[in-house]
Amino acid sequence: METVLVDRRAGWMVLTLNRPARLNAFNEEMHLALRRALEEAAGDAACRAVLLTGAGRAFCAGQDLAERVQTGGAPDLGASLDRLYNPLVRQLRALDKPVVCAVNGVAAGAGANIALACDIVLAARSATFIQAFSNIGLIPDSGGTFFLPRLIGDARARALALLGLPLDAATAAQWGLIWAVAEDEALAGEAEAITARLAARATHALGLVKQALNASPGNTLDQQLDLERDLQRLAGYAPDYAEGVRAFTQKRPPVFSGQ
């Protein structure tokens, strides 16, 4: 069975984590399959947006703990982060096209934080987000200690990380952890509509938007203004900017090539 299903649509791709019996927990094979699929999306000019979701009743339950039952010496989890989780988070953030995450059910541990690494997160009303790490004696990884305080503030980040309790989707949206909630039966359709809309937009510019926002937390205002100048220069040279202005002045919808 494929651990990541790849479904090519007109201008975009759906990647579905596919280990439903284990709530799509990550084993090494699924890590590598997801990385390969994202590389393919990155290298394919015809793919202008990505939708990430899970098969079955969960989005992803984080690391497959069946692989971590200790039979001998303690594992080096730092090495696992270095080799598998951290490259995946970096890859999602660096992808120069938007990634939508449709959280179709529970997102726990690294599964929650990989969702947060995506650009737009839409969750089913029944979905929950669990910083499950401390429940098994670990700390939030896959960017959790970076994303959580920036998205929802230190007080809420601390409580989620220390208590390891589920956060329902409506509260996650209300707190600003995610973009929005959809009714369970509407989630796939709404996520697909968002992804298709993104795929028809000025892809090159959207990649630059990601770059600017990714850099923002570590920059001073002066540094960020300089970065905006540099990226806007690139955007201004691109064909889609010319098309955007032309379409505006001709009072018609733009037809972006993605360039």
List of residues contacting ligand T3D (CB under 6 A): 22-23, 25, 61-66, 68, 77, 80-81, 85, 106, 108-110, 130, 132-133, 135-136, 138, 141
C-beta of 9 vs 22, nearer to ligand T3D = 22
C-beta of 71 vs 250, nearer to ligand T3D = 71
Q: Nearest approach, Cβ of 131 to ligand T3D (angstroms)?
A: 9
Q: Nearest approach, Cβ of 75 to ligand T3D (angstroms)?
A: 7
C-beta of 2 vs 76, nearer to ligand T3D = 76
C-beta of 170 vs 242, nearer to ligand T3D = 170
Nearest residue by C-beta to ligand T3D?
62
Q: Nearest approach, Cβ of 17 to ligand T3D (angstroms)?
A: 12
Q: Nearest approach, Cβ of 139 to ligand T3D (angstroms)?
A: 9
Give a three-class secondary structure readout of the chain.
CCCEEEEEECCEEEEEECCHHHCCCECHHHHHHHHHHHHHHHHCCCCCCEEEEECCCEEECCECHHHHCCCCCCCCHHHHHHHHHHHHHHHHHHCCCCEEEEECCEEECHHHHHHHCCCEEEEECCCEEECHHHHHCCCCCCCHHHHHHHHHCHHHHHHHHHHCCEEEHHHHHHHCCCCEEECHHHHHHHHHHHHHHHHCCCHHHHHHHHHHHHHHHHCCHHHHHHHHHHHHHHHHHCHHHHHHHHHHHCCCCCCCCCC
